Structure 1
Amino acid sequence: MQKQFKLAALAAALFSGAAMAQSSVTLYGQVDMFVGAVKNPGTGERAWVANSGGMQTSYWGIKGAEDLGGGLKAIFDLNGFYRTDNGRTGRFDGDAMFSRNAYVGLQSDRAGTLKLGRNTTPYFISTILFNPLVDSYVFSPAIFHTYFTATNGTVFDPGIIGDSGWSNSLVYSTPTFGGLTANLIYSFGEQAGATGRNKWGGNLMYFNGPLAATVAFQQVKFNNVPGDVTSPATLAGFDKQNAVLAGLSYDFKVVKLFAQGQYIKSDVTNATGDIKHTSGQIGASVPIGAGSLLASYGYAKAENNVDDFKRNTFAIAYDYNLSKRTDVYAAYFYDKITGAEHGDSFGVGIRHKF
Structure 2
Amino acid sequence: MKSQLQRRNRRWLRELGGFALAGSACALAGTAHAQSSVQLYGIVDMWAGVQKLPSQASAAVAAGNGMSTSFWGLGGKEDLGGGLQTVFAIEGFFRPNNGAVGSFDGDPMFSRNAYVGLQSSTYGALTFGRQSSPLYLQSTLFNPFYASFTFSPTVNHLYGGVGTYPAFKTDQGVFGGTAWANAIQFATPDFNGLTGKAIYAFGNTAGENGSRKWSAQMAYTHGAWSISGVYQYLNFSSTPGDLAHFIAGEKSQSVAEIATWYDFGFVKLYGEYTWTGNDRTADSFHVNSYQAGAAVPVGLGRVLASWGYSRNAGGLDLTRQTATIGYDYPLSKRTDLYANYMYDHLTNTSSGYTTGVGLRTRF
Question: Could you say whether these structures have the same fold, taking a TM-score greater than 0.5 normalized by the shorter chain as the test?
Answer: yes
Partners of 1:119 and 1:165 lie apart in 2 by: 5
The answer to whether the 8 Å contact 1:280/1:298 transfers is yes
The answer to whether the 8 Å contact 2:67/2:147 transfers is yes
1:53 match:
65
Partners of 1:211 and 1:320 lie apart in 2 by: 24
The answer to whether the 8 Å contact 1:155/1:309 transfers is no
Partners of 1:312 and 1:83 lie apart in 2 by: 27
**1:188 equivalenced with 2:202 (yes/no):** yes
Where does the alignment leave 5 or more consecutive residues of structure 2 unmatched? 1-32
The letter of the residue matching 2:37 is: S
2:53 match:
40
1:108-147 mapped onto 2 (5 Å cutoff): 108-147=120-159
The answer to whether the 8 Å contact 1:78/1:103 transfers is yes
Match of 2:92 among 56, 68, 80: 80
The answer to whether the 8 Å contact 1:155/1:308 transfers is no
**1:341 equivalenced with 2:350 (yes/no):** yes
1:245-264 mapped onto 2 (5 Å cutoff): 245-264=257-276
1:162 match:
176
Match of 2:253 among 229, 241, 244: 241
**1:220 equivalenced with 2:255 (yes/no):** no
The letter of the residue matching 1:128 is: T
1:300 match:
310
* Percent identity of paired positions between Structure 1 and Structure 2: 44
Structure with bigger gyration radius: 1
**What is the RMSD of the two structures over their aligned residues, measured on CA atoms?**
1.9
The answer to whether the 8 Å contact 1:155/1:303 transfers is no
**Residues 282, 35 of structure 1: alpha-carbon distance in 2 compared, 3 angstrom cutoff:** same
1:71 match:
83
TM-score by length of 1: 0.89
SS in 2 for 1:231: helix
Match of 1:104 among 108, 116, 136: 116
Partners of 1:49 and 1:80 lie apart in 2 by: 23
TM-score by length of 2: 0.87
**Residues 155, 55 of structure 1: alpha-carbon distance in 2 compared, 3 angstrom cutoff:** closer
Deviation at 1:205, TM superposition (A): 1.4
**Residues 353, 196 of structure 1: alpha-carbon distance in 2 compared, 3 angstrom cutoff:** closer
The letter of the residue matching 1:54 is: G
Partners of 1:72 and 1:150 lie apart in 2 by: 41
Partners of 2:351 and 2:111 lie apart in 1 by: 32
Deviation at 1:222, TM superposition (A): 1.2
The letter of the residue matching 2:312 is: A
Partners of 1:49 and 1:225 lie apart in 2 by: 38
1:22 match:
35
Partners of 2:161 and 2:264 lie apart in 1 by: 34
1:350 match:
359
Partners of 1:194 and 1:145 lie apart in 2 by: 28
1:9 match:
none
The letter of the residue matching 2:171 is: D
The Cα offsets for residues 153-187 of structure 1, whole Å up to 9 and x where unpaired, read as x9841511000100000110000112010011000
1:287 match:
297
2:339 match:
330
> Aligned pair count?
328
Partners of 2:311 and 2:127 lie apart in 1 by: 36
**1:206 equivalenced with 2:216 (yes/no):** no
Partners of 1:21 and 1:295 lie apart in 2 by: 41
**Residues 33, 251 of structure 1: alpha-carbon distance in 2 compared, 3 angstrom cutoff:** same
**1:95 equivalenced with 2:107 (yes/no):** yes
Partners of 1:109 and 1:239 lie apart in 2 by: 39
Task: List, as ranges, runs of 4+ consecutive aligned residues in structure 1 with deviation greater than 2 Å.
Answer: 193-197
The answer to whether the 8 Å contact 1:169/1:188 transfers is yes
Partners of 1:333 and 1:67 lie apart in 2 by: 46
The answer to whether the 8 Å contact 1:130/1:249 transfers is yes
Partners of 1:34 and 1:195 lie apart in 2 by: 39
Partners of 2:137 and 2:263 lie apart in 1 by: 19
Partners of 2:94 and 2:35 lie apart in 1 by: 31
Deviation at 1:225, TM superposition (A): 4.5
